[in-house]
Amino acid sequence: MNSKVEVRSIPDPRLCLGCGVCSYIGAEGDVTMIDIDHVGTRPKFSETISSQKTREMLAVCPTVFTDFGELKRRNDYKPVVNKTTENNWGAISGIWEGYATDEEIRFKGSSGGALTAIAQYCLEQRDFHGVLHTGENPEDPIRNKTRMSFDRKELLAVVGSRYSPASVCDGLGQVEAAPNPCVVIGKPVEVAATRNAMKVRPALAEKVGVTLSFFCAETPPTQATRSLMERFGVAESNLKSLRYRGYGWPGYFTTRNGDQPVRERLIYYEAWAYLQKFRPWATHLWPDGSGELADISCGDPWYEQPDGKNPGFSLIVARTKLGKDIVEGAITAGYLTASVAEPWKIGKSQEGLLRKKGSVWGRRLAHRILGMPNTQFKELDLFSPWRALPLKVKLQSTIGTLRRILQRGMWRAP
């Protein structure tokens, strides 16, 4: 996106991903995060917002600018993979596959509970104040809520992936005000936003102790979950809990209404196949599906298909020296059970995310041809992944995108 774009245009569903960082940067009353049913959580801006705050928001918005070379330029960065793997998946200082040693966390977590185990280790062994993350809103289970957790019980209460809108950066003020450093867990775009915010808010930079992320193709809107519930005749009015996966690997989309027992509705990958079709256009323009700017990223090891017996495990990727130290510390302290993994397992496990990353180059080309805005990415090679795509996928990402934009009228400025 051009830096001259007005901040009021950032909620444009073609670009904004609802990370919530503008809510953190803005003064009280400047920004309200609202859930647009068919798009996702997006900021609503006050008519009295100052020009200074506008500039500050533009400076941190990840859909305006994101520096993907930040971690690779650090003096203490020591890659353990070749350049092609690094280009595809970001900075990598270590790769393991493993799971939470705690059996309950492993079972309830989405893919072995590795992120939860790492967060617990940081709280109990490294004197972190809390963990900023999102989870089910107990008062409205179809939606998510940003929260700060302080112990194992609170982490377990919201364990598991959420395939619906979340805006963890709207809680960065809690991190900045904390007495000690905190863990921040977010989607790739939320971690990118946190990195941007840390550059302009030294007080925040001091309190972000470590950033954790997960392999993610970005989230569908609330409408997607509502549609899936309707498919099974699940009423929203007396919904008590909604889980997308976990409780085994890969887990089930489950619901509980009123005093009824939990009902397993659909196995995870079938539920995701349904939900992902609702993702708004902005999600197809964001290239990072593996948390390239986090200290640690975790994701499903899909190179091995679930057999119904394995309670779950993760690929664990440390991107910084800090991330590597924390993973190794969690293993030594018994929070993680993990062993070093071969780099090929990332690509084999996440072929769809790499295909999406390459396709973003073609979609951005279509935007340029039609005079539409694009995010400015620094030190991010999208052409190489695009060039490696099959011809059919290349054409879909370029000609197919042009057709889609014209048919839907997305080329018009909102």
Check residue 4 and give its pLDDT: 37
Please, where are the H alpha helices in 169-316? 172-176, 188-200, 202-207, 222-231, 268-275
**Structure confidence at residue 14 (pLDDT):** 83
Helices (H), 128-262: 152-157, 172-176, 188-200, 202-207, 222-231
Cα–Cα distance for residue pair 66/58, rounded to 1 Å: 11
- Positive or negative, the CA dihedral 85, 90, 92, 98 is negative
Could you tell me the CA-to-CA distances from 308 to 53, 302, 336 in Å, in that order? 51, 14, 22
Dmax of the chain from CA atoms?
57
pLDDT in tens, 325-368: 999 999 999 999 999 999 999 999 999 999 999 999 999 999 99
Beta strand 40-45 with 31-36 is: antiparallel
pLDDT, mean of residues 372-391: 97
HSE of 142, CA atoms in CB hemisphere, 13 A: 22
Q: Which residues contact 89 (CB under 8 A, 6 or more apart)?
A: 81, 290, 292, 317, 346, 347, 354
Q: 68-78 pLDDT, tens per residue? A: 999 999 999 99
Residue 209: the pLDDT is 98
pLDDT band for position 54 (cuts 50, 70, 90)? confident
Question: Average pLDDT, stretch 304-325?
Answer: 94
Q: Looking at residue 402, what is its pLDDT?
A: 97
| pLDDT score at 147 | 97
Judge whether residue 9 has pLDDT over 80. Answer: no
Which amino acid appears at position 197 of this protein? A
pLDDT value of position 414: 73
Position 219 scores a pLDDT of 95
Calculate what percentage of the chain has a pLDDT beyond 90: 90
Residue among 9, 43, 3, 6 nearest 26 (CA):
43
DSSP character for 180?
S
The residues pairing with 317 across neighbouring beta strands, listed in sequence order, are 95, 297
User: If pLDDT is split at 50, 70 and 90, which confidence band does 23 have?
Assistant: very high
How do residues 220-259 score in pLDDT, each as one tens digit? 999 999 999 999 999 999 999 999 999 999 999 999 999 9
Cβ–Cβ < 8 Å for 160, 108: yes
pLDDT at 56 over 50: yes
Tell me the residue type at 373. P
- Report the distance separating Cα 356 and Cα 362, nearest Å: 10
- Name 296's bridge partners: 212, 318
- Amino acid 345: pLDDT: 98
Question: How far apart, in whole angstroms, are the C-alpha atoms of residue 108 and residue 311?
Answer: 9
Average model confidence (pLDDT) across the chain:
94
What is the reported pLDDT for 27? 87
Q: How far apart are the first and last CA of the chain?
A: 14
| 3 state SS of 183 | strand
The one-letter amino acid code at 151 reads D
Contact 377, 87 (CB under 8 A): no
CB neighbours of residue 239 within 10 Å: 16
Q: Is 61 helix (H, G, I), strand (E, B) or coil?
A: coil
**Edge-to-edge strands, sheet with 296-299:** 144-149, 131-136, 182-185, 208-214, 296-299, 314-318, 94-100, 336-340
pLDDT in tens, 139-158: 999 999 999 999 999 999 99
pLDDT at 128 over 70: yes
pLDDT at 12: 61
pLDDT digits (tens, 9 = 90+) for 234-243: 999 999 999 9
Residue 28 is classified by DSSP as T
Tokens of 249: 């690997």
pLDDT tens digits along 186-220: 999 999 999 999 999 999 999 999 999 999 999 99
Nearest of 93, 96, 88, 94 to residue 68 by alpha carbon: 88
Between CA 18 and CA 133 the distance in angstroms is 15
The pLDDT of residue 13: 64
| Site of tokens 């995701």 | 272
